[in-house]
Chain A
Amino acid sequence: DQQVKQNSPSLSVQEGRISILNCDYTNSMFDYFLWYKKYPAEGPTFLISISSIKDKNEDGRFTVFLNKSAKHLSLHIVPSQPGDSAVYFCAAIHGSGNTGKLIFGQGTTLQVKP
């Protein structure tokens, strides 16, 4: 039972353009969502997060949008840079229990071409 899904395994964009990475979830109990970025042979690094009480959170070139009714979130990167090329994981947390147990999607490999 895949509670967090990233249906696009890969995405290729031109440098300077917008990258949009999508994520869907099934569990309405999730109340915090995160994006992690992973380079080869390294652990994931935290990128940006959003609480379920918000619909948008912005940090520099990165913006996360949350549509609770559709159980969908997206990460926008503008402008995209070659150094953004990595695997991006969407993750979600149950609010109750406060365990910090992250449920991850399968990841989307982003390639930004110079």
Chain B
Amino acid sequence: GAGVSQSPSNKVTEKGKDVELRCDPISGHTALYWYRQSLGQGLEFLIYFQGNSAPDKSGLPSDRFSAERTGGSVSTLTIQRTQQEDSAVYLCASSGRTTFHTQYFGPGTRLTVL
């Protein structure tokens, strides 16, 4: 069984450009999470999807950040008009409905904004 996959693994972009990061969760997992890890920091919660419920967007740092999850599976995190402070590793995780505390993480996307 495949784990959580993310693409691209690395992304370098210029300030002001939009970027899209993709996450494929483990098949059958109903919950999907996005976190980010800035240099020297812990993991920071961004957004959470659970089934068909409204997502918990409480961790998104600004309205330049958005995410969607299509068909209850693949998720895309979009950052518009990127800023240098957006540079970080963006991590996606998924979990089963009743085992939400045991989250399985992907390898992350390293975003560098020049």
Query: Which residues of A come within 8 Å of B, CB atoms?
Result: 4, 6, 32, 34, 36, 41-46, 49, 89, 91, 93, 98-107
Contact = CB atoms under 8 A, between A and B. Distances in A.
Closest 8 CB pairs of A and B: A43-B105, A100-B100, A104-B43, A104-B42, A106-B42, A44-B105, A43-B107, A43-B106
B46 to A, nearest CB: 10
B58 to A, nearest CB: 8
Contacts of B59: 101
Nearest to A107: B42
Contacts of B33: 100-102
Contact of A43 (B40, B44, B108): B108
Contact of B48 (A45, A99, A105): A99
Interface residues of B, number: 27
A113 B103 CA distance: 30
B88 interface: no
Contacts of A44: 43, 91, 105
Interface in B62-114: 91, 93, 95, 100-108
B104 A46 contact: yes
A36 B100 CA distance: 14
Contacts of B40: 106
A10 B62 CA distance: 32
Interface of B: 4, 31, 33, 35, 40-45, 48, 50, 56, 58-59, 91, 93, 95, 100-108
| Residue in B35, B41, B50, B101 whose Cβ sees the most chain A Cβ within 10 Å | B101
Give the most central of A41, A89, A99: most B CB within 10 Å: A99
24 contacts: A4-B42, A32-B101, A34-B101, A34-B102, A36-B105, A42-B107, A43-B93, A43-B106, A44-B91, A44-B105, A46-B103, A49-B102, A99-B48, A100-B31, A100-B48, A100-B50, A101-B33, A101-B45, A101-B56, A102-B35, A102-B45, A102-B101, A104-B35, A106-B41
Nearest to B95: A100
Most B-side CB within 10 Å, residue of A42, A45, A104 = A104
A32 to B, nearest CB: 5
